[in-house]
Amino acid sequence: MQALKLFLFPILFLIQVLYRIITFSRNILYDYKILAITKFKINIISIGSLKFGGAGKTPLVEYLLKEYGNQKIAILSRGYKRKRKGFLIASKHHTAFDVGDEVSQMLNKNPNTLIAVSENRVFGVKKLIKKNKNIKTIILDDAHQHRKLERDCNIIVTEYEKLYSKDKLFPLGNLRESKTGAKRANIIVITKCPKNISLEKKHEIQKKLKLKKNQKIFFSYIKYNKLTNYLTGEFEDLKINEKYFLLTGIGNSKPLLQYLKSKKIHTYHFKYPDHHYFKKKELKNLILKGKQEQTKNLIITEKDFYRLNKIDLDLLSSYFKLFYIKIEFDFINNEKLMFNKQILKFI
């Protein structure tokens, strides 16, 4: 494997150089207004990241909806990995196939919120305003690199254990653009921190990120709820003396594994890429493995739950006792009040 990496390095390095030139040039054209940027009269809040994959963007959007959700706020996402194209207002009749797993999850938690998907964010904002003229704020999910649209507040998230300052530009790393892209952010949120993170560690992270004076930084953590039983909808505790299968198709499953380990839960992890649409063959093989290992408990994430259709969920629950686990996003100590104060300027 190491020999293959060494062999491919010159090729990947060349691709990285070309990619850097393209992204740098694009950003310069927007910085100097050579490429058009559309400004709307309503408030636009963008939540994004510098890296590919899950860094905690959607949990932050859900947090904002929980704190401020009302008829004057709308959500616009590109609906990553959905199979349909174009602008679409999400409804209870749509599945992850139509609008994406993250949008399905947000809609099920916030059925009264206007949520839409569109690859073209400018067009999407126009359609949302036309749909509801009372909208005062639109929150863009995963839009830091979408520069055609001017925003009033730019928020980026970066993971505690995978700070963008430690990463490299694609394809030698996971960054979508150079680390200098962080300078466009008004607020940086460090996600998935230990709840008891020390002041010394916070200061260390601030130094590593080399923030500008006008940039604000906040530290957040993830709280895992009890298991939800798919068939009954009831909450259940993890049982130390029982084995569990864990099936994930998310960007970073490490925090969940660490949580289960802290609870002394013995798990077999079946890991798939982020936003993976599970095939019938994969689910049937999982059931076969469960029979071989004499394991009847299966945990999936909430995001995976909304990506699986009812037929797939019923297939899994025909053998397994099927659970999904929800997470809650929150800020460390008094930082919640300070963050909310910043956001109130735009809502």
Q: How far is Cα 320 from Cα 315, in angstroms, rounded to an integer? A: 9
User: How much is the pTM?
Assistant: 0.93
In terms of phi and psi (left: phi > 0; alpha: psi -120 to 50; beta: otherwise), the region of 318 is alpha
Is the Cα torsion angle 86, 302, 164, 17 positive or negative in sign?
A: negative
The per-residue pLDDT for 1 is: 56
Is the Cα torsion angle 236, 99, 192, 298 positive or negative in sign?
A: positive
Name beta bridge partners: 236.
Answer: 227
Consecutive 10-residue averages of pLDDT for the chain (347 residues): 72 95 97 96 96 89 91 92 94 93 93 95 97 95 95 97 95 95 97 95 96 95 95 94 94 92 94 94 97 96 95 97 96 94 91
Domain identity same for 163 and 178 = yes
Domain identity same for 158 and 120 = yes
Q: How many domains does the chain have?
A: 2
- Pairing mode of beta strands 216-229, 187-191: parallel
Q: What is the DSSP letter of 98?
A: H
306 within domain boundaries: yes
The per-residue pLDDT for 71 is: 79
Domain identity same for 162 and 244 = no
The per-residue pLDDT for 69 is: 83
The per-residue pLDDT for 251 is: 87
Q: How far is Cα 128 from Cα 30, in angstroms, rounded to an integer? A: 24
CATH code at position 275: 3.40.640.10
Domain identity same for 193 and 241 = no
Domain identity same for 201 and 325 = no
Domain that holds residue 324: 224-329
CA 298 to chain centre: 23
CATH code at position 149: 3.40.50.300
Domain identity same for 131 and 92 = yes
Name beta bridge partners: 175.
Answer: 51, 169
141 within domain boundaries: yes
Q: How far is Cα 121 from Cα 207, in angstroms, rounded to an integer? A: 34
Domain identity same for 141 and 290 = no
Rg (CA), the chain: 21
Domain identity same for 312 and 334 = no
318 within domain boundaries: yes
The per-residue pLDDT for 333 is: 87
Contact assessment for residue 189 and residue 65, using Cβ atoms and an 8 Å cutoff: no
